Amino acid sequence: MIRKRDIIIKGFSKLLKEEKLKLVAEYFENPGEVVSLLKSFWHTDESQQKLFDEFSENTITNFYIPYGISPNVIINGHTYIVPMVIEESSVVAAASAAAKFWSERGGFHAEIIDTQKVGQVHFSWPGNPPTLRDLMPAISQYLLNAAKPITGNMEKRGGGVLDIKLIDMTDKLDDYYQLMVTFDTRDSMGANFINSVLEEFGHSLQQFMLEQLQLKTEERQVEIIMAILSNYTPNCVVKAWVECSIAELENVDEKLGGLEFAKKFEKAVKIAQIDPYRAATHNKGIYNGIDSVAIATGNDFRAIEAAGHTYASRNGHYESLSRVELKDNKFKFILEVPLAMGTVGGLTSLHPLAKQSLQLLGNPVATELMMISAVMGLANNFSAVKSLTTTGIQAGHMKMHLFNILNYFKASEKEKDAALAHFKDQKVSFSSVGKYIASMRG
Ligand code: MEV
């Protein structure tokens, strides 16, 4: 009997993995097959599987996503082979095409603008703002001393807490203040370090205020609302760009001359600067590239995206993260993006493939990985806007999607070969492929 979906499951996390798997399978008509399917994705090496099981709660199997490679990515004169983990069929192809295109035009360029991370202690305090402001130098010193056991190692690596600022937000919410703390987390993304320091700062702030006997009793009480890093990192920013002469764009398209192409491309990017509907899709194309490197290297792509979309809104409306400069017969395409990434700690060294990805990239430091990721964002953005403003996106996109459609129809290898030849110069769509397969099968 199929298990009812509206029955609350109690104590699921306490079950053994096999029991969880069986319980989930009961929601299907064919539980035996479901168990076999899910188990077929388990790692054959038990200790490796255990590692994956322990990354998260309630793991019952693994979910595969293709791990692809974009070769020949030249950045600041250095050639990289870039690993990309992504399910969307055209992303690696688009990145590789852009890498090849720009390898013939001076390669990609990138530079780090800054690497500061931030976190906040949000608290309520009922006193007079100037009193707290006057106490800030002493508070900072007290908090820094109290957090020494946590910050010591990071300081040895050249990082640590850079600054603690009091932000008075009482005009927006009664009694509400923040400690805005700036960090240098070196080659780690630093989330755990930052959060541990901030929680310690919260406790120490309460302790410090309790000790201020010159204050009224109620002023000695601080309510810590929460202590957490901010994923908005407007001062952890990387810039990537490509540039060439207009003459070098002459053969980009059959119909458009170099200057026409450059101007149309610029217009497309300007549309993404003024229209949030287009900007969301434009920036999504950028994150196709960035996220796939983030996943391949064990970085937190949700944090990276959250920062990017907030940064894209910093001028009061949501806009494109990239821009075009056309002057002196030169085309320059620039991406500026916040990227909090790490090359040590977290999954970067635990996930065997993340570790290998970093090796493939030559074991970069965090700033180098930021540059590589931004470049892949720019590469995907370039390919997308180039296709959109010339051939349209669907021709290339659907060609890459052909395999997915053929797999949907359970095409044999022979049928796939025939379909590949047939659709070389035919329009690919779900129905055209369906019809073709049906005709082959009589
Ligand atoms: C698809 O994943 C990404 C694009 O839509 C990006 C864009 O429109 O610029 C092609």
Query: Are 285 and 324 members of one domain?
Result: yes
Segment 264-306, tens digit of pLDDT: 999 999 999 999 999 999 999 999 999 999 999 999 999 999 9
pLDDT at 125 over 80: yes
Q: Atom 1 of ligand 1 has which residue's CA nearest to it?
A: 285
Query: Are 240 and 327 members of one domain?
Result: yes
Query: Are 177 and 223 members of one domain?
Result: yes
Query: One-letter amino acid identity for 292?
Result: S
Annotated catalytic, 50? no
Report whether residue 260 contacts ligand 1, using a CB cutoff of 6 Å: no
Query: Are 46 and 81 members of one domain?
Result: no
pLDDT at 92 over 80: yes
pLDDT at residue number 4: 84
For residue 196, count other CB atoms closer than 10 A to its CB: 15
SS (H, E, C) 153-197: HHHHCCCEEEEEEEEECCCCCCCEEEEEEEEECCCECCHHHHHHH
What span, in angstroms and rounded, lies between the C-alpha atoms of 146 and 148? Answer: 6
Q: Looking at residue 439, what DSSP letter applies?
A: H
Report whether residue 86 contacts ligand 1, using a CB cutoff of 6 Å: no
Out of 43, 397, 399, 422, pick the active-site residue: 397
Question: How far, in Å, is the centroid of ligand 1 from the Cα of 95?
Answer: 12
Query: One-letter amino acid identity for 9?
Result: I
User: Which CATH number does the domain housing residue 157 bear?
Assistant: 3.30.70.420
Would you give the distance in Å from CA 190 to the centre of its chain?
Answer: 15
Query: Are 281 and 304 members of one domain?
Result: yes
Segment 371-383, tens digit of pLDDT: 999 999 999 999 9
H-state helical runs in 166-297:
191-210, 258-274, 276-296
Query: Are 262 and 365 members of one domain?
Result: yes
Question: How far, in Å, is the centroid of ligand 1 from the Cα of 319?
Answer: 15
Residue with tokens 């960035």: 290
Residue 60 placed within a domain: no
Annotated catalytic, 397? yes
Residue 61 placed within a domain: no
Query: Are 338 and 264 members of one domain?
Result: yes
Q: Atom 2 of ligand 1 has which residue's CA nearest to it?
A: 285
Annotated catalytic, 29? no
Q: Please, what sign has the CA dihedral across residues 187, 189, 193, 199?
A: positive
Segment 341-384, tens digit of pLDDT: 999 998 998 999 999 999 999 999 999 999 999 999 999 999 99
pTM score of the predicted model: 0.93
CB under 8 Å to 115, separation ≥6 — which residues?
184, 235, 236, 366, 367, 370
Looking from the CA of residue 94, the nearest atom of ligand 1 is 10
- Domain count across the chain: 4
Query: Are 178 and 310 members of one domain?
Result: no
What span, in angstroms and rounded, lies between the C-alpha atoms of 423 and 436? Answer: 10
pLDDT at residue number 398: 78
Residue pair 201/147 in contact (Cβ under 8 Å)? The answer is yes
Question: How far, in Å, is the centroid of ligand 1 from the Cα of 44?
Answer: 37
Question: How far, in Å, is the centroid of ligand 1 from the Cα of 251?
Answer: 23
